Structure 1
Amino acid sequence: MDTRPEAYPIVCRHAANGVGRDFVVGDLHGCVDALRYLLREIVFDPACDRLFSVGDLIDRGSQSEEALALLDKPWFFPVLGNHEEALCLVAEGVMRQAAWNALGGQWGQSLPDRVLVAYARRLRTLPLVRVVGSGSRRFNVLHAEFFGDDAMLDTGDFNEGMRQQILWGRELALGRGVAGQQAGLSPTYCGHTPMREVGRIGAQIFIDTGAFAATGKLTVTEALTARAWSVSVEQALLEGAAQMSLP
């Protein structure tokens, strides 16, 4: 039986950060070395800074299990992405491994069933949405897209179509969505659709810059500012990222 609606919080709220900075990272896709490099570049302070994630920690890159280990970091706050959803569905017997392989989940084939199930249980604790701060200091984090205002987002009362849109939607990114439907939506950081550069469409700020791709980069942006940092996995490794420790 699929008990997803009861298995994890839909919307998680966070107070504004009054002592440090908030950052948001794009789709990680197993590119942890690039993240190590960027955390050094932004002089990330785990004692007071927070790193939010738009999801898709896993698949395609070579460090999916290292990316999942970030779930244990007290400064790391991800939402569920469609790739985490795929892992869960395979572990729950709802999706075939071959379908996950098509998304880059081949690494999961070598995992014992008990390990895959343990990862799925942990991932099912992740929210679909994180809401940070309030008023002019508010921003939202979700994986793909949302059409509605803050009040609608706050309810977490999403039907299955809305849930699929949050995890898989690309209407806005492909020019088929109506940005006007986002009136009243605070700046909302998302990933899912790779962009060459960070860009804004409607209320949404797209920060997935294709970290796993040969020509792509991982991007971290400071929330509610224009500041962003990007690096390719290749460049990060050239700079010694594999020897850098995570906070």
Structure 2
Amino acid sequence: MIPAPIPVIEHHAGNTAGRDFVVGDLHGCVDALRFLLREVGFDASRDRLFSVGDLVDRGDQSVEALALLDKPWFFAVLGNHEDTMCAVAEGRQPRYRWYGIGGGWAESLPEGALVQHAARLRKLPLVRVIGEGGARFNVLHAEFFGDDAELDAARFDDTVRERLLWGRALALGEARPKRGLSPTYCGHTPMREVRQIGAQIFIDTGAFIPEGRLTIVEALTQRQWSASTTEAREQGAAQIALP
């Protein structure tokens, strides 16, 4: 199967009616998300939730995480785990390689269902740009070495695409950021706590790790909320309806 081209970038107008939030790598930890949305007082009629990707794998609610794509208030970018899932569905990678990075939840998933999920995931952009000027922020999965103009041009070669999905050089201190980039929310590399390096704000706090937590931040503010799946379930998260 020849894969459809991945959308590169999607622009969103600023939210003048409500608040914008960004959530770290979900990895199938939807109960933690339910809990956090209640904690922030999320209003689905006005607020929006952007995701840095990696909705699936490792946690035990990957199917529920994929269902978030149906929510009109939820906007995700493609993560490396979704990209791997698509590669399997498209026949470009064997299933066992995906299972090795947490895709074992799909071992019993029929081929047709996998293909359907992949077709939806392939519509996710690599980058989302929200707002303009001083109220602008960007959302992507891993890292980007460039400024806003280069991001907007979206002329990404294979190396840049690889870094957008898999890069860790910035998070590991192996490279330096470039100036001219608006605040940019990233995931991919688990951090003990939210960490900013240059303009890039890493918000993956290891939701799937026993000692980790899922983190939501309110865009362009210092406000953040975190919860582990265990804590969320102890607080009755499974009974909290998503907006």
TM-score, L = length of structure 1: 0.97
Matched, 1:183 2:179: yes
Displacement, 1:4? 4.0
In structure 2, stretches of 5+ residues that fail to align are none
**Equivalent residue number for residue 48 of structure 2:** 50
In the alignment, what sits opposite 1:197?
193
SS in 2 for 1:120: helix
TM-aligned CA deviation for residue 102 of structure 1: 1.0
- Residue matched to 2:228: 232
| Selected match of 1:213 from 175, 198, 209 | 209
Q: Percent identity?
A: 65
Instruction: Measure, in 2, the Cα distance between the counterparts of 1:41 and 1:114.
Output: 37
Which of 74, 94, 97 in structure 1 is aligned with 2:95? 97
- What one-letter code is carried by the residue in structure 2 that aligns with 1:126? L
Shift of the alpha carbon at 1:86? 0.6
* Cα separation, 1, equivalents of 2:240 and 2:3: 40
Shift of residue 177, structure 1, vs aligned partner: 1.1
Deviation at 1:2, TM superposition (A): 3.7
> What secondary structure sits across from 1:110 in the alignment?
coil
Rounded to whole Å, the distance in 2 between the matches of 1:178 and 1:198 is 18
3-state SS of the aligned residue for 2:72? coil
Residue 163 (structure 1) aligns with: 161
Q: RMSD of the TM alignment (CA)?
A: 0.8
Match of 1:148 in 2: 146
| Aligned: 1:40 with 2:41 | no
* Secondary structure in structure 2 of the residue aligned to 1:211: coil
2: CA distance, partners of 1:171 / 1:4: 28
Deviation at 1:144, TM superposition (A): 0.0
Residue 31 (structure 1) aligns with: 29
Q: Distance in 2 between matches of 1:99 and 1:92?
A: 14
4+ aligned runs moved over 4 Å, structure 1: none
Cα separation, 1, equivalents of 2:145 and 2:98: 27
Instruction: Tell me how far 1:222 sits from its aligned partner.
Output: 0.1
Give the Cα–Cα distance (whole angstroms) in 2 for the partners of residues 34 and 27 of structure 1: 12
Q: Deviations over 1:82-109 (max 9, x none)?
A: 0000100000000111110111000111
Mapped to 1, the partners of 2:4 and 2:221 lie a distance apart of 35
Alignment deviations for residues 132-155 of structure 1 (CA, whole Å, 9 cap, x no partner): 001000000000000000010011
Shift of 1:169: 0.1
CA offsets, 1:192-216, max 9 Å, x none? 0000000101110000000000000
Question: What amino acid maps onto 1:31 in structure 2?
Answer: C
Distance in structure 2 (CA, Å) of the matches to 1:81 and 1:30: 13
Distance apart, 1:12 and its partner CA = 0.1
* Alignment partner, residue 15 of structure 2: 17
**SS at 2:58's partner residue?**
coil
TM-score normalised by L of structure 2:
0.99
Secondary structure, counterpart of 1:176 in structure 2: coil
Cα distance in 2 between the residues matched to 1:135 and 1:190:
20
Q: Indicate if the aligned counterparts of 2:20 and 2:47 stay in contact, CA closer than 8 A.
A: yes
